[in-house]
Amino acid sequence: MTRTIRLALAATGLAAIASLATAQAFEPQKAQELRESHMKLMGAHIGILGGMAKGEVEYDAATAAAAAETLSALASAAAAGDLYWVEGSSSDALEESRALPAIWDKTEEFESGQTKLVEAAMTMQDAAGTDLAALQGAMGALGKACGDCHETFRQPEEE
C-alpha cells in the first residue's frame, strides 16, 4: 500500500513539473542549493546502506531499516511536489549547477528515472531490516537508479 501511495505521489509530482513554466516557486539559485541539500541527504542515507552492503560497517538491522525508511521518504519527497527543477537552474545557466539541460529536454525519461528511484528505495525499505543478504540484494537496483539518472542528467565532476 505504501508502494501505491508513493507511486501516486510521484505521478502527482510529475504533473507539477509541467506547471512550473507559469509558476516558479524557487529562484534558480535557491532551487540549485535545495537540490544539493536534498541529494546530500539521500546520499548520506544510501551511504549507510552501502557501507553495510560492502561489509565496511557491521550490519545492524535497526539502523539499516531506519536509513532505508528515511531514504524512501526522501526519494518520494524529491519526486512528489518537485519544485526543484526550475527553468534557468541548469548547468548552462548556473556555474554551480551540475543539472544538465537534458532534464528539461527529456522530461519523460527524467520522470521515469525518478519513478525508478522511488521504486528501488521502496524495495530497499522492505529489505534493509530483514538481513544483510536482503539488503545486498536490494542494493543493485538502488545503485542503478542513482547511476542511470546521474549518467544522463548530471554533469560529470570537474577534474
Q: Which is nearer to its own copies, 11 or 102 (CB)?
A: 11
Residue 76 in contact with its own copies, rule: CB under 8 A: yes
In the three-class reduction of DSSP (H, G, I as helix; E, B as strand; rest coil), residue 135 is classed as: helix
Q: Which is nearer to its own copies, 15 or 92 (CB)?
A: 15
Cell of 29: 539559485
Cell of 43: 546520499
Q: What is the DSSP letter of 139?
A: H
DSSP-assigned states of every residue in 43-59: HHHHHHHHHHHTTSS--
Q: What minimum distance in Å lies between the beta carbon of 136 and its own copies?
A: 18
Residue 56 in contact with its own copies, rule: CB under 8 A: no
Please give the Cα distance from 86 to 111 (Å, whole number): 14
Applying CB under 8 A, the residues found at the interface with its own copies are 1-2, 5, 9, 12-13, 15-16, 19, 22-23, 25-26, 30, 34, 37-38, 40-41, 44-45, 48, 60, 62-63, 65-74, 76-78, 80-83
